[in-house]
Amino acid sequence: MNPVNIAVGWINVAREKIGIADDRTEALAKIRGEICLACSNVGRENIKCGICGCDVQAKIRVKWEKCPIEKW
């Protein structure tokens, strides 16, 4: 993820934590998160993608991001 996308992802994570998240963003994140958590490439302890190295909770909340192995 590029720096702008990283910032957008973490801003969306923060919005979710304080209860002001966009419903569409969170619906998309829920779907993507379930796919990521079922993937053998995602680390269970730090929840980072083993392919691209991104933090999953931020990446799944950026609508224009893509899975590096095209699962979403």
pLDDT digits (tens, 9 = 90+) for 18-59: 999 999 999 999 999 999 999 999 998 889 999 999 999 999
The Cα 66–Cα 62 span in angstroms is 9
**How buried is 38 (Cβ within 10 angstroms: 0-12 exposed, 13-18 middle, 19+ buried)?**
exposed
End-to-end alpha carbon distance in the chain: 15
The Cα 55–Cα 48 span in angstroms is 4
Q: What is the pTM of this model?
A: 0.91
